[in-house]
Amino acid sequence: MSQAPKVKKPPQFPATDLLIIGGGLAGMALFLGIKKNHPRLKIKLIEKESQLGGNHTWCFHDSDLPPRVKQWLQGYFSKTWNSYEVRFPSLQRNFKSPYHALRSFEMQSRLLSEFPEDILTNTAMKSWRCLSPENPSLLGYEIKTEAEKLLRSHGLIDCRGWINQYPSEKVAFQKFVGLDLKLKKPHGLTSVILKDAACPQIDGYRFFYTLPWSETEILIEDTYYSNHSILKEDRIEQEILKYAQTQGFEVESILRREKGCLPLFLYPQEHIGELPELGAKSNTFNPVTGYTSPQTFQMIDQILSLSALDPASIQRCLVQQQKAFEPQAKFLRFLNRMLFNACRPDKRFKILQKFYTLPEPSIQRFYSGQINFLDKVRLLSGKPPVPVFKALMELTDKFASNNSKKSVPDLNL
């Protein structure tokens, strides 16, 4: 009996071209950017929670946005203000530049209604494997979800957010509690109060941040640049309500609560991601602000301008961007060490007060992580608000790291 000829198995083509893991700021923005600019690409976004985006108000300066990203993203902004101001004990300054906000609950409902088939919530990636490790140019992945479902994709991008385990002696924190408040009467504000540091400086550099959503709705956050991550939410909530009162705002009710504790790197972090990474997961963010949006938007802009959106090109592009940001990150980590190691907690505001006297373009480049040589000179010139010897001790990543000691804990009233 002659044997039936062996049938060559058809290759199993991946179901999607690109699978984005994690529907936070980075995952949603990348997903949207690809949908708007490469509508023929088959992509999917998976998110482990029942909703995308968590509970966040993401804000950024207009100068943090690459112009091409602004074109497709601005229709999704919750609000744009045309100016903002900063208040310090010896400085008050207005800036006539736009400031934007994206609210996660608004972004998620827009995306879910526009692209319901391509977004899977309640879908957590449990494990992944490369289907052809011996031939990486083919790539192709299979991922297993926590519900034991298998998904296949030609490429993966890991947007799973913060890693959460940073050695405590190598990071400081920007931590905050925010309340969306309904007021009894109009507040009368027309612009954002980005920092109001004319307040008691407890637990490090401390300021209030105010976003007026409408005539009678407002977000107020109480923020601390602290050496530790403890956040006494009840106490801080009371502080916010007290601050509202001092500003003449009569609070009718609390509409929403938000909190965060962002790591601010003082030293380089060991991190080797196996998948292409974007957002907080990639550790590519401004070490002084803990904000990821400027670098995330810049990296998405570079991805979208690739001539071919294949997984290998995307991975190369992301790695290149991460490396290109490292010299900026190194300088910003040095500024963090000046702030957290060389300066007394109750005097930290003086460094920021001096910073806000700089020319506006330098301030914008600082936020977007694009500081130039002249900006560095400006940032370091003049009488330093920290002892010179202590500042010198913090000069290089390596020297300071060898001498790193736990700073005296801040007051935590």
Ligand X SMILES: Cc1cc2nc3c(=O)[nH]c(=O)nc-3n(C[C@H](O)[C@H](O)[C@H](O)COP(=O)(O)OP(=O)(O)OC[C@H]3O[C@@H](n4cnc5c(N)ncnc54)[C@H](O)[C@@H]3O)c2cc1C
Nearer to ligand X, 166 or 384 (CB): 166
Q: Which stretch binds ligand X (CB under 6 A): 256-264, 299-307, 340-348, 392-400?
A: 256-264
Minimum CB separation of residue 303 from ligand X in Å reads 14
Question: What is the number of alpha carbons within 13 Å of residue 149 lying toward its C-beta?
Answer: 11
Stretch that binds ligand X, among 16-24, 88-96, 199-207, 324-332 (CB under 6 A): 16-24
6, 8, 380 from 1: Cα distances, Å? 15, 21, 87
Q: Interaction with ligand X in 148-167: which residues (CB under 6 A)?
A: 159-162
Determine, following the binding rule CB under 6 A, whether residue 369 of this chain makes contact with ligand X.
no
Compute CA 11 distance to the chain's CA centroid, rounded to the nearest angstrom. 40
Burial of 401 (0-12, 13-18, 19+ CB in 10 A): middle
Residue 54 near ligand X by CB under 6 A: yes
Rounded to an integer, what distance in angstroms lies between the CA atom of residue 406 and that of residue 341?
9
Tokens representing 117 are 């088939």
Q: Is 317 in the site for ligand X (CB under 6 A)?
A: no
Q: Which residues of 204-230 are buried (b: 16+ CB within 10 A; e: fewer)?
A: bbbbbbbbbbeebbbbbbbbbbbbbee
Say whether 328 sits in a helix, a strand or coil.
Answer: helix
Q: Specify the stretch interacting with ligand X by CB under 6 A; choose among 25-33, 88-96, 302-310, 365-373.
A: 25-33
**Buried b vs exposed e over 29-41: b needs ≥16 C-beta within 10 Å?**
bbbbbbbebeeee
Which of 73, 107, 179, 262: binder of ligand X (CB under 6 A)? 262
The position carrying tokens 């109060």 is: 193
Based on the shown chain and the rule CB under 6 A, indicate whether residue 293 belongs to the binding site for ligand X: yes
Is 356 a binding residue for ligand X by CB under 6 A? The answer is no
Query: Of 18, 45, 58, 98, which one interacts with ligand X (CB under 6 A)?
Result: 58
Name which of 161 and 384 has its Cβ closer to ligand X.
161
Instruction: Choose among 47, 41, 40, 7: nearest CA to 26.
Output: 47
Binding segment toward ligand X, per CB under 6 A, in 4-12, 193-201, 255-263, 395-403: 255-263
Single residue of 59, 157, 171, 194 touching ligand X by CB under 6 A = 59
Least distance to ligand X from the beta carbon of 388, Å? 33
Least distance (Å) from ligand X to the CB of residue 271?
Answer: 14
Q: Among 279, 287, 311, 369, indicate the residue that binds ligand X (CB under 6 A).
A: 279
Answer positive or negative: Cα dihedral of 261, 370, 316, 301: positive
Stretch that binds ligand X, among 42-50, 184-192, 341-349, 364-372 (CB under 6 A): 42-50
Task: Please report whether residue 27 would count as binding ligand X according to CB under 6 A.
Answer: yes
Give the end-to-end CA distance of the chain in Å, rounded to a whole number.
Answer: 88
Shortest distance (Å) from residue 85 CB to ligand X? 17
197 forms part of the interface with ligand X (CB under 6 A): no
Q: Report the site for ligand X in 119-148 (rule: CB under 6 A).
A: 124-125
- 60 touches ligand X (CB under 6 A): yes
Based on the shown chain and the rule CB under 6 A, indicate whether residue 237 belongs to the binding site for ligand X: no
267 with 401: CB under 8 angstroms?
yes
Asked if residue 171 binds ligand X (CB under 6 A), the reply is: no
Question: Applying CB under 6 A, does 318 fall inside the site for ligand X?
Answer: no
The residue range among 276-284, 321-329, 337-345, 373-381 that interacts with ligand X, by the rule CB under 6 A, is: 276-284
Residue nearest to ligand X (CB): 24
Residue of 24, 33, 98, 155 that binds ligand X (CB under 6 A): 24
Q: Is 20 in the site for ligand X (CB under 6 A)?
A: no
User: Considering the rule CB under 6 A, would residue 312 count as an interface residue with ligand X?
Assistant: no
Cβ atoms of 62 and 97 within 8 Å: the answer is yes
Beta strands 125-130 and 141-145 are: antiparallel
Separation of CA 143 from chain center: 26
Residue position matching structure tokens 């207005």:
94
Q: How many C-beta atoms lie closer than 10 Å to residue 354's C-beta?
A: 19
The yes or no reply on residue 300 touching ligand X (CB under 6 A) is no
Q: Taking a C-beta distance cutoff of 8 angstroms, is the pair 295, 369 a contact?
A: yes
How far is it, in rounded angstroms, from Cα 27 to Cα 314?
A: 14
The binder of ligand X chosen from 14, 22, 155, 204 (CB under 6 A): 22
Q: Which residues bind ligand X (CB under 6 A)?
A: 21-27, 46-49, 54, 56, 58-60, 124-125, 159-162, 258, 260, 262, 279-281, 290-293
